[in-house]
Structure 1
Amino acid sequence: MKALLIVYHTQSGSSQALAEAAASGAAAEEGVTVELKRAMEADANDLRACDGVLFVTPENFGYLSGGMKDFFDRTYYPCDPGSLARPYMLIVSCGNDGSGAVRQLERIVKGYPLKAAAEPLIVRGEPSAEHLEAASDLGLSFAAGLGMGIF
């Protein structure tokens, strides 16, 4: 059985809605367990125990949210930098273009190292039904890829 960890940070609820949609999609895949955790509650043990991780974060002032950055600050050294090869995917909720959060996360995860399994999903504005469906599809495709051993 493979394990997918979904780590999210939210203040307005937008990122949480996207994370929950992704978790719902991922849960449809047999042979994969899905754990949904707030960034402030997730830790290095969660990251070490998963086979893949999906990050869902708002972009605040052109960067990752403080809560998501805190997750990386707390897990990097306990995860034995350089030895945690896992696939990851990213969803960014933003009011602008999301590119700053994407760049910052890509730079941070190189040290773990985590490897991108897909292009980031960037959601501008309040998540619509189409955005939630895209998040669900991303969660399902990630879980399916983990289950089949593609990632």
Structure 2
Amino acid sequence: MKQLLLVAHAPSENTRLMAEATLKGARHPDIDAVQCRWIEPLKATPEDVLGCDAIILGTTENLGYMSGALKDFFDRCYYPCLEAKQGLPCALYVRAGHDGTGTCRAVETICTGLRWHWIQPPLVCKGDWQEEFLQQCEGLGMTMAAGLDMGIY
């Protein structure tokens, strides 16, 4: 069974719904060989990353940057995972009040340093809240899990 890890900061009801939508997509009934679990960034450990086959990162845009919680996750997990997880399939969604540019750039820079492999460009859910964000997150989770299930990643 392949392991998909969701490391997502969800400080509000809407961001919690986004994480749950991502899980829903990853747990689609047609996807048989993938287990997905969500861990908050402050609770995620290097061992969680070392034990996964792919990772989805979720963050809010905070002052044009990723959340402090996701930054803390990277600070603790970067070096323990650097050599062992090269090529890890990854994806990102951002709940952005503005444009998400700085947030994406920061996360992409760290993931590039880790030598992780992007499965698609970041999903940036920007502006006022839209129910469509949930469908987009569900699609992201399904895409990642289906790719793992079919052996694409």
Verify same fold: TM over 0.5. yes
Describe how 1:2-151 pairs up with structure 2 within 5 A.
2-28=2-28, 29-79=31-81, 81-85=82-86, 86-151=88-153
Structure 2 residue runs of 5 or longer lacking an equivalent are none
CA RMSD of aligned residues (A): 1.2
Give per-residue Cα distances to partners, 1:78-121, cap 9 Å, x unaligned.
22x23312010000001000011100001111222211111111
TM-score normalised by L of structure 1: 0.94
Given residue 35 of structure 1, which amino acid in structure 2 is its aligned partner? Answer: R
Conservation of the 8 A alpha-carbon contact between 1:14 and 1:126? no
Distance 1:142 1:22 in 2: 10
Conservation of the 8 A alpha-carbon contact between 2:4 and 2:52? yes
Distance 2:16 2:103 in 1: 17
Distance 2:98 2:106 in 1: 15
Given residue 14 of structure 1, which amino acid in structure 2 is its aligned partner? Answer: N
Secondary structure of the 2:11 match is coil
Secondary structure of the 1:78 match is helix
TM-score normalised by L of structure 2: 0.93
Distance 2:67 2:117 in 1: 21
Given residue 107 of structure 1, which amino acid in structure 2 is its aligned partner? Answer: T
Give identity over the alignment, percent: 39
Distance 1:108 1:68 in 2: 11
Aligned residues: 150
Give the drift of 1:37.
0.7
